[in-house]
Amino acid sequence: MKRVDETVTIQENKRINGKYYKLVFKSARLARGVQAGQFLHVQIRPDAVDPFLRRPFSYYRIQHDRIEVLYEVLGRGTELLAGLGKGSHLKIMGPLGKAFTQQVRGKKRILVAGGVGVPPLVFLAEKNPVDYLLIGTKSRAEVLPKKELSKVRAEILHATNDGSYGVRGFVTALLEKIIQKEGAECLHIQTCGPAPMMNAVMDIAKREGIPGEASMEESMACGVGACLGCMVKTPEGWVPSCIEGPVFSFDRLVRTCA
């Protein structure tokens, strides 16, 4: 299969709240056949060696050939990205990786999102019938603007660490409540976010026997399975999360202490 590495022109790149920036560009080839959970591998400054490696970002929203990415400024690469204006160029490989299971039959679906794991799960919830979308953030300032969530066909519940929006505490408290209400047997979980959050979600899922998927976030170099740098531990050993994931079924993930 022919793979895409395309130079795109930024159409929009601006801050949308206390946490995220939204990046918008057009590419028919990078948009073709994409499903939530897949990612783009972005060379932020195509003609410079700083940042040196590409950075992976999830697809957030696609409308025809228009692609949106939501990102958080965490370090040098995302800081440089945030400084780029309309008309700047990026070099992007994609779509890469395996998507979330889109259709889950006979189960109530819960999505548990936090941090940079929010964008792919909002994408999933916009495209598929989902029952709950649980979002955990530090405070109100980080909660996505209502407009960004208007196309989600699910009950959206927020948890903030400081209680400034939704319930106070961790998103896992919301998850426990839903399990009590619905009963574990009929549930299916999909999660993406910081490792401690996903670990807590998977601990609950394991205790309750709830199946599901987690999207892992490992630093990447190649994005195509060549460098063996982005590994996730499975019963068969370390596998590259860029091609075998980033989405993995809970039962394929072996916990390593981090």
Partner 1 sequence: MKTVDLTTRIKGLVFKNPVTVASGTFGTTGEYAGYVDYRKLGAIITKTITIKPREGNPMPRICETAGGMLNAIGLQNKGLDDFIANKIPYYAKIATPLIVNIAGESEGDFAKLARALQKHSRVVKAIELNLSCPNVEKGGAGFMKKRRLMKAAVKAARAETDRLLIAKLSPELGDVLEIAGEVLDAGADALGLINTLKGMAINIETRRSRIANITGGLSGPAIKPVALRYVYEVKKKYAVPVIAAGGIMTVRDALEFIIAGADLLAVGTANFVNPRATLDILEGMTEYCQRHGIRRIEELRGSFRHV
Ligand X SMILES: Cc1cc2nc3c(=O)[nH]c(=O)nc-3n(C[C@H](O)[C@H](O)[C@H](O)COP(=O)(O)OP(=O)(O)OC[C@H]3O[C@@H](n4cnc5c(N)ncnc54)[C@H](O)[C@@H]3O)c2cc1C
Enumerate binding residues for ligand FES (CB under 6 A).
220-223, 225-230, 240, 242
Residue with the two structure tokens 């596998």: 239
Tell me the C-alpha distance between 53 and 221, whole Å.
6
Which of ligand FES, ligand X, ligand FMN, none sits in contact with 114, Cβ below 5 to 8 A by type? none
Q: Indicate the residue among 159 and 214 with the shorter CB distance to ligand X.
A: 214
- Helices and strands (H, E) in the chain, number of each type: 6, 16
Tell me the C-alpha distance between 151 and 154, whole Å.
9
Binding mask 96-135 for ligand X (x = CB under 6 A): --------------------x--x----------------
Residues 219-248 that bind partner 1 (CB under 8 A): 219, 221-231, 233, 237-238, 243
Give the total residue count for the chain.
Answer: 258
Which of partner 1, ligand X, ligand FMN, none sits in contact with 43, Cβ below 5 to 8 A by type? partner 1
Number of residue whose CB is nearest ligand X: 75
Tell me the C-alpha distance between 143 and 165, whole Å.
8
Q: Indicate the residue among 42 and 210 with the shorter CB distance to partner 1.
A: 42
For 30, the token pair is 């990078």
DSSP designation for 90? E
Residues 78-97 that bind ligand X (CB under 6 A): 78
Report the chain's C-alpha Rg in angstroms: 18
Residues 170-229 that bind ligand FMN (CB under 6 A): 227, 229
3-state class of 246 per DSSP?
Answer: strand
Q: Indicate the residue among 96 and 144 with the shorter CB distance to partner 1.
A: 96
Q: Which residues of 168-199 are buried (b: 16+ CB within 10 A; e: fewer)?
A: eebbbebbeebbeeeeeeebbbbbbbeeebbb
CB of 147 to ligand FES, least distance (A): 34
CB of 193 to ligand FES, least distance (A): 20
Residues 9-68 that bind ligand X (CB under 6 A): 39, 51, 55-58
Provide the angle, in degrees to the nearest 10, between the axes of the packed helices 195-208 and 171-182.
Answer: 20
Number of residue whose CB is nearest ligand FMN: 227
Which of partner 1, ligand X, ligand FMN, none sits in contact with 93, Cβ below 5 to 8 A by type? partner 1
Q: Indicate the residue among 75 and 235 with the shorter CB distance to ligand X.
A: 75
Each as own residue / partner, the long-range contacts of residues 11-14 (CB below 8 Å, 24 or more positions apart, any chain) are 11/66, 11/86, 12/86, 13/81, 13/82, 13/84, 13/85, 13/86, 13/88
Q: Indicate the residue among 184 and 221 with the shorter CB distance to ligand FMN.
A: 221
